[in-house]
Chain A
Amino acid sequence: MHYIVNRLIFFVLSLWAAVTINFALPRLMPGNPALAMFAKFQGQMQPQALKALELQFGFNNQPWYIQYFTYLRELVTGHWGLSFTYYPTPVTTVIHNSLPWTLGLVGVATVLSVFLGTALGIFISWRRGGFWDNILPPVTMFFQAVPYFWMALVLLFVFGFKLSWFPMAHGYGEGMPAGWNRPFLSSMLYHAVLPGITIFLGSFSGWMIGMRNNMIYTLGEDYVVFAEAKGVSPQRLMIMYAARNAILPQVTSFAIAIGNVVSGSILTEVVFSYPGIGNQLNTAVLNEDYPLIQAAFLIIAIAVLVANLVVDLLYTRLDPRVRTEGATA
C-alpha cells in the first residue's frame, strides 16, 4: 500500500513538472506566432498584415505568473485555446481529428513488433546457435540501425513510386467520405502498410534481441536446470519456466513504448503525409502554434506518465519482490 501511495505522489509531481515545462518552453522560443506565420508565407502576405495578425492572436504582456495561473486554470477546465495554425479551430478539435490515426498506426505497429519480437526472441534463444539465431539478429539490427525516416523514404520510393504497389501518401483514398464501411476501412489499411512497416522495422530488432538475451540469462538459472533434470517437457520449460521470468523487463519497455505511441512517429508521418498527431506537432512547432504545441505535449506527457504508473502498479502483481521490498531486506 505504502508503495502504491508513493507511486501516486510521484505521478502527481511529475505531471506538475511536465505541465510547467510545457508552459515555459514555447515562450522561450524566439519570435512570436504572428511573425512565424508571416515568414512562412514568404512575401505572399502584405507587410501591413503583420499588425492585424498580432491583434488577432491577442498577445498579452501580462506578467508571467498571471499567464501561468490562467494557463493552469484553463488546462483543468478543458479550455485549451484556439490553434494559431488553423485559427479559429480549437486545439481540442485538431487533436481529436489526428490522434486516432496515430493510435491506430503506431499502436498496431508497436504491438505487432513487441509480440512478434518477443515470440521470436524466445524461439531463437531456445535454439541458440541455430540457423535463425545466426540470421535474424544481424538482419533486423540492420533495419533498426538505419535511420527510420530514411527507411520511410526508401520504402516510399521503391514500393510507392517505382512499383506503385502502395499509395505514396495519406491515411485513406483521396475524396473518400470517411466512415465505418468496408471500402473506407480497406483503403485505410492499404495506406497504413508502408508507414506501418517503417515503424515495425524500426523497433522489431530491439524487442527480439532483448528477449533473446533475457532468455539466455534465465536459461542458465539453477531452477531451470533443476526443472529440466526433473523431466519437465521442453515446451513447458521454455514458456512457463524461462520465458515467464525473462519477460519482466520486456513488460516495462512495452508500457513505455505504449506511452510513446501517442507522440507518434513524427518523421514517418511527415514522409507519408499521414494525418496523425506527429504531423500536427511538426506543423505546430514550425508555426510557433503555442496552444497546439502545449496541448500535444501535454497529452504525450500524460500518456507516458500514465504508462509508467501502470507498469509500476503492474509490477507488484508480476514480481512479488517489488511488493515486499522493505520486508525481505
Chain B
Amino acid sequence: MGKWSKVSWLAGTSLAAVVALAGCGSGGGVVNSSNAGSGASTGASQKPMVMLVSPYGSFQNNFNPFQGQSANPGTNGFIYQPLYYFNLVGSQSYPLLATGYAWSNNNLTLTVNLRQNAKWTDGQPFTSKDVVFTFDLLKKYPAADTNAVWQQLSSVTAQGDYQVQFKFKKPNVPFANYILETDIVPEHIWASLGNPLKVTLTNWVGIGPYTLSNFTSQGYTFKANPNYYLGKPPINEILNPAYNGNDSADLALVKGQVDWGGVMIPSVESTYAKTPHNHYWYPPENVVMLYTNLKDPLLSQLPVRQAISMGIDRNVITTKGEYGYTQPASATGLIMPNNQSWLDPSLSSSQTTFQYNPQGAEKILEKAGYKKNSSGIFTAPSGQPLNFTLQVVSGWSDWDASSALISQQLKQIGINVTVQQEQYGAYMSNLQAHKYQLAMSWTNPGPTPYFLYQNMLSSTSGWNLEQYSNPTTDQALQTFASTTNTSQQQQAIYQLEQVMVKQLPSIPLFYGPYWYEYNDSHFTGWPTPNNAYVTPSPYAWPAPAVVVMNLKPVK
C-alpha cells in the first residue's frame, strides 16, 4: 500500500513540473527566438544571412579541409581557401590566394605567384612555405590526397616567399585546376598535428572571409574576418542551420527563413517563387546519362544504343520526371549553354540535338536484323531478346520517376527495361564493378568540357562506367592535356563531340541542375542568368566565398 501511494505522488509531481515548464516555454519562446539573431550580432543592426546549404542531419565540430565533402559547409572557402577558383557556369576565374600562374618548360612546370597581403586569422603572414607544406602533407598521407595530385606531380618547391613551382611528370594542363583548387593550411599550426585527416581542433585558424563564432550541432555562425585580404566582407554574420530532410528544408525556404538555399523544391514556381523577393535559378551542372555497359553483348551493338536513344522522349522526361527544371541534353555531351563556345560548327543542329523518333528506332533495329517476338519484344539475330535492367538509386525521386518513364517509352518500341531501385551503397558498388546493363548516373564536369569527356571516355579514368576504350579518343584527350594553345584544344574537343554524336558510347539524357534559391529582400548582388559571374549554389564550395564578397546588405 505504501509503495503505491509513493508512485502516484511521484507521477503527480513530475506531471505538475512538466506542465509548468511547458507553460513558460510557450510564453517565453516567441520573444526569445526573435531576440536570438539581434542579440548575437556584432554591434551593427544588420540581419545575419541564413544559408541552407543542403540537408545535413546535424553537425560535428569538423572544419578540417582535408575532409573534403564531409567537412562542414564553409570549411573550403569561408575558413580555408585555395589558390584559385574557376567558375563552372561561365568562363571567369578568380585568383584567391594566388595572383597569377604560368606554364613553362613544355608545359611541365606550373609557376604560381602568391598574394603578398594575406594573413592567417592568428596574424601570421601567408607565404609559399604554407603552400609547399600543404602539398607535402598530401604526399605523406595519400589518404588525404583526394584529387590524386601526386600521381601527376614530381615536385613542389618554393621560389622565394611568394612564388611556388609545381613540376609535372608529364604535361597535364587541365589538371592545374585540381592543384589550384586545393585548400592551403597554415604550416605553423598543422606541422605538429600529424595525420591531417585525424585533426580535430576547437580553433580553426583560417584565411578566408569568415571565422567561426559559435558552434552547436544543429547550426553554427560565421563572423566576418575584418582582415580578409580582399577587404572586410559586406555581411557581418552568416548562420548555417541543420535541416534533416528536404521536407523541413523546403518549408523553411518557402516561409522566408532562409536567404540562400541549395535544395530542390517541388513546384518551385507556385510555392517558393510566388512570394516577392524569392527567386530561383537552376542552371545545368552536369549531363545525366543512361550508361550502357559496352561489355554486354547486346548493348555493345550501336543499333541497339541508337534505338534506345531515339525511343526516349526526353521532353516528356524533363517535364514529367524532372519537374521541368532542366532541358534535354545535347547529343555532343557538352553542357549547354555553359560550353557554347566549344561547340563544333561543322555539326548540324539535327546532329547535336536528339530527336524522339519511335518509328525510326524500330527501323534501325529491323535493318540490323532484329525481329519482334510473339510478345512484341525485339530479338537479336543470335536469338537474345532485348531485355535489360536499369539501375537507379531508390529515393532519388526525380531519377526514379524518369527511369520509370524510360521503361514505359522503350516498351512501346519493343525493348523491355526493368527498373531496379537500389540503396546507394549497393548502386555505387555495382556501377564500379560494372555489374549492370543500363544505369542512370551523373558525369563529372569541370571548367572546360575536357573534364567530362576525360572522366567518361578515357580508357584509364575512374568514371568510365560504360568501359569505352578507343585509342583515337585517348589520343584526342592527350592532345588537349598537353597544350595551352586554345585552338588545338578546341580541335581536340571537336573530335570528342564527333565521338559522342556518331558512336554514342553512352546515352546523354538531360542536364542535372544546380539547385539555387535566393531572397533579395535583405541582400542583393546574387548571381543570375544574366550575370552568371560564379557557380551560384551554396554547396558549390568555394564559390560561396566569391558570392558573399559580391553581396550588399539592403539599407
Question: In the complex, which residues of chain A have a beta carbon less than 8 angstroms from the beta carbon of B239?
Answer: 174-175
Convert B121-154 into 0s and 1s, putting 1 for each residue whose CB lies closer than 8 angstroms to a CB of A. 0000000000000000000001111111001000
Contact at B216–A178, with CB atoms within 8 Å? yes
Residue B64 lies at the interface, judged by CB distance under 8 Å to chain A: yes
Contact at A153–B247, with CB atoms within 8 Å? yes
Residue B320 lies at the interface, judged by CB distance under 8 Å to chain A: no
Convert B219-245 into 0s and 1s, putting 1 for each residue whose CB lies closer than 8 angstroms to a CB of A. 101000000000000000001011111
Contact at A187–B286, with CB atoms within 8 Å? no
Contact at B36–A174, with CB atoms within 8 Å? yes
Q: From B4, B8, B218, B462, give the contact of A273 (CB < 8 A).
A: B218
Residue A37 lies at the interface, judged by CB distance under 8 Å to chain B: yes
Q: Please, how many angstroms separate the alpha-carbon atoms of A39 and B285 in the complex?
A: 16
Bin the interface of chain A by size. 35 or more
Q: From A36, A94, A189, give the contact of B24 (CB < 8 A).
A: A189
Q: Please, how many angstroms separate the alpha-carbon atoms of A280 and B242 in the complex?
A: 12
Question: In the complex, which residues of chain B have a beta carbon less than 8 angstroms from the beta carbon of A275?
Answer: 58, 217-218, 242
Q: Please, how many angstroms separate the alpha-carbon atoms of A108 and B15 in the complex?
A: 10
Q: How far is the CB of B292 from chain A (nearest CB, A)?
A: 18
Question: In the complex, which residues of chain A have a beta carbon less than 8 angstroms from the beta carbon of B28?
Answer: 182-183, 186, 190
Question: In the complex, which residues of chain B have a beta carbon less than 8 angstroms from the beta carbon of A46?
Answer: 146-147, 178, 444, 455
Which stretch (B248-256, B303-311, B355-363, B496-504) binds chain A? B248-256
Which stretch (A67-75, A131-139, A161-169, A293-301) binds chain B? A161-169
Which stretch (A1-9, A49-57, A210-218) binds chain B? A49-57
Convert A157-181 into 0s and 1s, putting 1 for each residue whose CB lies closer than 8 angstroms to a CB of B. 1001100100111111111111000
- Whether A35 contacts B25 in the complex (CB less than 8 A), given A53-B146, A112-B15, comes out as no
Residue A44 lies at the interface, judged by CB distance under 8 Å to chain B: yes
- Whether A174 contacts B241 in the complex (CB less than 8 A), given A169-B248, A187-B33, comes out as yes
Tell me if A's interface is mostly helix, strand, loop or mixed: helix
- Whether A48 contacts B37 in the complex (CB less than 8 A), given A36-B428, A240-B4, comes out as no
Residue A31 lies at the interface, judged by CB distance under 8 Å to chain B: yes
Q: Please, how many angstroms separate the alpha-carbon atoms of A41 and B71 in the complex?
A: 12
Question: In the complex, which residues of chain B have a beta carbon less than 8 angstroms from the beta carbon of A191?
Answer: 29
Contact at A112–B18, with CB atoms within 8 Å? yes
Question: In the complex, which residues of chain B have a beta carbon less than 8 angstroms from the beta carbon of A187?
Answer: 25, 29, 32-33, 36
Contact at A98–B58, with CB atoms within 8 Å? yes
Which stretch (B327-335, B380-388, B419-427) binds chain A? B419-427
Residue A239 lies at the interface, judged by CB distance under 8 Å to chain B: yes
Question: In the complex, which residues of chain B have a beta carbon less than 8 angstroms from the beta carbon of A174?
Answer: 33, 36-37, 50, 218-219, 239, 241
Q: How far is the CB of B392 from chain A (nearest CB, A)?
A: 12
Residue B442 lies at the interface, judged by CB distance under 8 Å to chain A: yes
Q: From A39, A173, A192, give the contact of B427 (CB < 8 A).
A: A39
Q: From B255, B257, B461, give the contact of A47 (CB < 8 A).
A: B461
CB closest chain-A residue, reference B540: A44
Residue B70 lies at the interface, judged by CB distance under 8 Å to chain A: yes
Q: From B216, B286, B428, give the contact of A39 (CB < 8 A).
A: B428
Chain B interface, number of residues (Cβ within 8 angstroms) = 90
Contact at B69–A272, with CB atoms within 8 Å? no
Contact at B60–A48, with CB atoms within 8 Å? no
Question: In the complex, which residues of chain A have a beta carbon less than 8 angstroms from the beta carbon of B24?
Answer: 186, 189
Q: Please, how many angstroms separate the alpha-carbon atoms of A82 and B254 in the complex?
A: 37
Residue A244 lies at the interface, judged by CB distance under 8 Å to chain B: yes
Q: Please, how many angstroms separate the alpha-carbon atoms of A116 and B68 in the complex?
A: 50
Contact at B29–A189, with CB atoms within 8 Å? yes
Q: How far is the CB of B514 from chain A (nearest CB, A)?
A: 10
Question: In the complex, which residues of chain B have a beta carbon less than 8 angstroms from the beta carbon of A86?
Answer: 60, 62, 70
Q: How far is the CB of B507 from chain A (nearest CB, A)?
A: 17
- Whether A89 contacts B146 in the complex (CB less than 8 A), given A174-B241, A189-B21, comes out as no
Contact at A35–B143, with CB atoms within 8 Å? no
Residue A30 lies at the interface, judged by CB distance under 8 Å to chain B: yes
Q: How far is the CB of A141 from chain B (nearest CB, A)?
A: 23
Question: In the complex, which residues of chain A have a beta carbon less than 8 angstroms from the beta carbon of B463?
Answer: 47
Residue A115 lies at the interface, judged by CB distance under 8 Å to chain B: yes
In the complex, which residues 12-67 of chain B have their Cβ closer than 8 Å to any Cβ of chain A?
14-15, 18, 21-22, 24-30, 32-33, 35-37, 40, 48, 50, 57-58, 60-62, 64, 67
Q: How far is the CB of A294 from chain B (nearest CB, A)?
A: 16
Contact at A45–B146, with CB atoms within 8 Å? yes
Q: Please, how many angstroms separate the alpha-carbon atoms of A188 and B147 in the complex?
A: 42
Residue B189 lies at the interface, judged by CB distance under 8 Å to chain A: no
Question: In the complex, which residues of chain B have a beta carbon less than 8 angstroms from the beta carbon of A35?
Answer: 425, 428-429, 432
Q: Please, how many angstroms separate the alpha-carbon atoms of A168 and B255 in the complex?
A: 10
Question: In the complex, which residues of chain B have a beta carbon less than 8 angstroms from the beta carbon of A282?
Answer: 57, 244
Q: From B1, B37, B64, B428, give the contact of A88 (CB < 8 A).
A: B64
Q: Please, how many angstroms separate the alpha-carbon atoms of A292 and B119 in the complex?
A: 38
Residue B199 lies at the interface, judged by CB distance under 8 Å to chain A: yes
In the complex, which residues 12-37 of chain A have their Cβ closer than 8 Å to any Cβ of chain B?
29-33, 35-37
Contact at B143–A36, with CB atoms within 8 Å? no
Q: Please, how many angstroms separate the alpha-carbon atoms of A239 and B148 in the complex?
A: 73
Q: How far is the CB of B435 from chain A (nearest CB, A)?
A: 11
Question: In the complex, which residues of chain A have a beta carbon less than 8 angstroms from the beta carbon of B444?
Answer: 43, 46-47
Q: From A85, A88, A160, A190, give the contact of B29 (CB < 8 A).
A: A190
CB closest chain-A residue, reference B10: A115
Q: How far is the CB of B511 from chain A (nearest CB, A)?
A: 12
Residue B11 lies at the interface, judged by CB distance under 8 Å to chain A: yes
Q: From B3, B21, B200, B242, give the contact of A170 (CB < 8 A).
A: B242
Contact at A173–B146, with CB atoms within 8 Å? no
Residue B506 lies at the interface, judged by CB distance under 8 Å to chain A: no
Q: Please, how many angstroms separate the alpha-carbon atoms of A190 and B69 in the complex?
A: 33
Contact at A186–B32, with CB atoms within 8 Å? yes
CB closest chain-B residue, reference A285: B423
Residue A279 lies at the interface, judged by CB distance under 8 Å to chain B: yes
- Whether A183 contacts B32 in the complex (CB less than 8 A), given A43-B443, A178-B216, A193-B22, comes out as yes
Q: Please, how many angstroms separate the alpha-carbon atoms of A37 and B70 in the complex?
A: 8
Question: In the complex, which residues of chain B have a beta carbon less than 8 angstroms from the beta carbon of A288?
Answer: 425
Residue B82 lies at the interface, judged by CB distance under 8 Å to chain A: no
With A48-B148, A52-B142 known, 18 other A-B pairs at CB within 8 A are: A29-B425, A43-B285, A43-B286, A51-B148, A86-B70, A87-B70, A88-B67, A89-B200, A119-B11, A160-B251, A174-B33, A174-B36, A183-B35, A240-B4, A270-B244, A272-B248, A273-B57, A279-B244
Question: Mind listing 13 A-B residue pairs with CB under 8 Å?
Answer: A30-B423, A41-B69, A49-B146, A55-B143, A87-B197, A88-B67, A98-B217, A161-B251, A186-B27, A189-B26, A192-B25, A273-B244, A283-B57
Which A residues form the contact surface with B (CB < 8 A)?
A: 29-33, 35-53, 55-56, 82-83, 85-89, 93-94, 97-98, 108, 111-112, 115-116, 119, 153, 156-157, 160-161, 164, 167-178, 182-183, 185-193, 239-240, 244, 269-275, 279-280, 282-283, 286, 288, 317
Question: Which 8 pairs, one residue from A and one from B, show the smallest C-beta to C-beta distance?
Answer: A31-B425, A190-B29, A189-B25, A47-B462, A30-B426, A43-B442, A55-B143, A35-B428
